[in-house]
Structure formats: structure tokens, C-alpha cells
Amino acid sequence: MNSLPLVKLKQSVHNAKSVVQILFERNNELQQVLRSNTSMRWSKTMSCWYVPYSITIAQDLFQLLKNKAYLDYDDLKTDPVIEKPQVQKMVAITNNELQAPGIEISDKLKEFKDWLMSKRYSESTISTYTDAIKTFLRYYSYKSVAEITNIDVIAFNKDYILANNYSASFQDQVIGAIKLFYKTVEHKTIDLGALCRPKRTKRIPNVLSKEEVKAILAAGRNLKHKAMLSLIYSCGLRSGELLKLEHKHVDVTRHLLIIKGVKGKKDRVSPLSQKTIDLLRAYLTACAPVRYLFEGIKAGEPYDGRSLQQVIRQCVKRAEINKPVTLHWLRHSYATHLLENGTDIRYIQEILGHKNSKTTEIYTHVSNKSLQQIRSPFDFL
């Protein structure tokens, strides 16, 4: 006679959500299996283990408990037994209150992440998109992924994103992630026509004067700090681009900096001035990095991004500039100063690596050269 224990699955409602109770006589091995699975929860009120309902739950549990127990799922129904969760409406549910991802959600997330990786999306994009989908699917953990509809997306936007006052950029990221997820993993189209994307806030870039930039660069305590900040400003780099630079990317003969595989998977070049080349030569002679142009404590490892942010904060403080300056302000300042020096905006677009010329045109709004040509009517009174 086979000694496998019997596990009975029973559908129920717990905290206004449809769940499946996992009922069996005390068994240490089964307890350990369920305890190690992140989707399982113990309920004191029901005195049993339970898992969020999904139409594939019987199959999921069969795989989990294969060769460990017999499953009796006769009591499971085709449709989920669930009261309309009124508590999810009008009340902001925080991320910590969402159900842990079940087996189906975990599998779907892995499939989505694998697809993003196969398409060589950046690490930050992969992280952003998978986190967004994870939050969305956890919100509807009482449903199977296939059951989620356009109406659910609209409700999620209203009852979770807007109710928690999340930013417009977060809302836009989630909408984009949902659309891509259903297209690539579920192979169906989510119609987001009824869900308006948030209007992007039109902000002008933060720009420093040439005198302020000079003071910040001069405030570097050592040659490495000065070289890093100077290169960001003199070539209009993003901080991530600076940290990926290697020796081979500096073309001294042609006075060019080669920026490889950056945002948008595009390579580009930026002109290197003789002053910048002289500074880099002095730095390389003094510090002799192994692989990356700027390395941290370990040779051959790139400089830490958080440490670089600390460098700019310290330099701004020593320069006695009372503005919340970030590394990106140097890039904005570079573009604006180029424009003020008479550089054609099309060249600036290429140097910065902007895909759309409209992105580059924002610098025309903060250029002193343009603004100073405007005479106030007050002057003629």
C-alpha cells in the first residue's frame, strides 16, 4: 500500500480574496515544502496553509507536491469564489500589502525577463519593467494572468497608482510594461485606449553658469575627481557613460572620445579639447588604471556610481554653491554653453546622442544668448 499522504484542496475566501486551502494531516515533510514556497501562507483563523486562487492552481500544486502527496481537488470549482473586494476600491493599498507572487506569476515574470534579456534591454529597463509587472500581477493575485482584462488595467491605474499618488513617470512605465508583457508573453493585445497616459511635465533643464562650473571643477580634492567631473562637462556625458569608458575609447590622435553602447544602444563620439587631453594624460600617468578609465579600489573594476555622486556633492559644497547640483547638471550646462557659443543645434544633438531633435531644443529655453537679445518693454518707458 502506498504511503503518500492525502492533500485536499478546498476553495474559500480569505481577506476578501479567493484562496485555496491546503488541508492535510500533520506531516513535517509537507510542512517544509509549503514553508519554502513564497506563495504559501499560513492562516491562524483557518488553521491551515493557503494559496491565492488561480485557474492553474491544481496543476501548480501537482508539480509542487509530485511524489510527495496525493491531491484531492474535487472541491475546486471552475470559477473563483470571490466577493467583490470593496476594500481595494477607494482605499490605497501599499506594495507591502500585496500578495506574494505565486507559482504562475513567478513563471511569467521569468519568461518576461528572459525575453527582455534576449532583446538586450539595459539592466535598468529590465529591472523597471519586471518590477512594474510584478506589482501589477500581485495586485490581481486572485486571478490568473490570462483572466486579466482591459478593465482590470484601468482599475489598477485608478485604485493603486492614483490612490497612492505615484508619479506620472511611474504610471507611464507601468502602462508601457503591461502593454509589452501581454504582447510578448501572453500574445494578446491589451487595449489601453481608454487609459490615458499621463501628460509629461515640461521642465526646463537645470543649468550652471560657466563660472559655477569652473568653481566646481576646481574644488576637486584630487586629480581623479577633477578628471571625472571635467570629462562629464567637457564631453556632455551621462554618469553611466563615464563609468563605462576604457582606455581604448580615448582617441588622442583624432581628438575624439568614443562612447560605446550607451542609452538607446547607440555609439557616438564627442570632441576632446586639448585641455581635456592634457588633463587625462596627467591623470593616467599619476593613477595608471588597468582597464577602465576611472577605477575604484579594486584594479580593473569601474568606479562606483554612488561614490561619483558623493564627489559632485562635496565639490559643490566646497565651491559654496547653494543649489542641488547633480552630475546631470554638468551635461545640461555643457549643451547650453555650446549653444551660447554658436554651435549648431544639430551638432549638439549628435554629440549628446539625442534621438529626437525636440529633446535638444529644450536648451534654447535656457540659453542666455537667446534671452539677452530680448529687450523688456520696461526699458522703453
Indicate whether 56 and 108 sit together in one domain: no
Catalytic residue among 331, 332, 334, 337: 331
Query: Is residue 196 a part of any domain in this protein?
Result: no
Decide if 363 is catalytic. Answer: yes
Show the 3-state SS of the chain.
CCCCCEEEEEEEEECCEEEEEEECCCCHHHHHHHHCCCCCEEECCCCEEEEECCCCHHHHHHHHCCCCCEEECCCCCCCCCCCCCHHHCCCCCCHHHCCCCCHHHHHHHHHHHHHHHHCCCCHHHHHHHHHHHHHHHHHCCCCCHHHCCHHHHHHHHHHHHHCCCCCHHHHHHHHHHHHHHHHHCCCCCCCCCCCCCCCCCCCCCCCCCHHHHHHHHHCCCCHHHHHHHHHHHHHCCCHHHHHHCEHHHEECCCCEEEECCCCCCCCEEEECCHHHHHHHHHHHHHHCCCCECCECCCCCCECCHHHHHHHHHHHHHHCCCCCCCCHHHHHHHHHHHHHHCCCCHHHHHHHHCCCCHHHHHHHHHCCHHHHHCCCCHHHHC
pLDDT bracket for residue 98 (50, 70, 90): low
Query: Is residue 258 a part of any domain in this protein?
Result: yes
Catalytic residue among 10, 244, 328, 365: 328
pLDDT of residue 274: 92
pLDDT at 86 over 60: no
Catalytic residue among 179, 263, 318, 365: 263
pLDDT of residue 176: 86
pLDDT bracket for residue 211 (50, 70, 90): very high
Catalytic residue among 238, 268, 332, 337: 238
Indicate whether 173 and 316 sit together in one domain: no
Indicate whether 214 and 356 sit together in one domain: yes
pLDDT at 91 over 60: no
Decide if 221 is catalytic. Answer: no
Decide if 249 is catalytic. Answer: no
Decide if 332 is catalytic. Answer: no
Indicate whether 156 and 44 sit together in one domain: no
Q: Which CATH number characterizes residue 214's domain?
A: 1.10.443.10
- The whole-chain average pLDDT of the chain stands at 81
pTM over 0.85: no
pLDDT of residue 51: 85
d(Cα 180, Cα 124) in Å, to the nearest integer? 16
pLDDT at 182 over 80: yes
More confident residue, 337 or 263: 337
pLDDT at 278 over 90: yes
What is the residue range of 177's domain? Answer: 86-184
Decide if 331 is catalytic. Answer: yes
pLDDT of residue 90: 38
Query: Is residue 354 a part of any domain in this protein?
Result: yes
pLDDT digits (tens, 9 = 90+) for 359-381: 777 777 766 666 666 666 656 65
257, 270 Cβ separation under 8 angstroms: yes
Indicate whether 64 and 114 sit together in one domain: no
Catalytic residue among 134, 332, 337, 354: 354
pLDDT of residue 355: 78
Structural domain ending residue among the three candidates 20, 47, 72: 72
pLDDT of residue 42: 87
Decide if 238 is catalytic. Answer: yes
d(Cα 312, Cα 220) in Å, to the nearest integer? 9
pLDDT bracket for residue 68 (50, 70, 90): confident
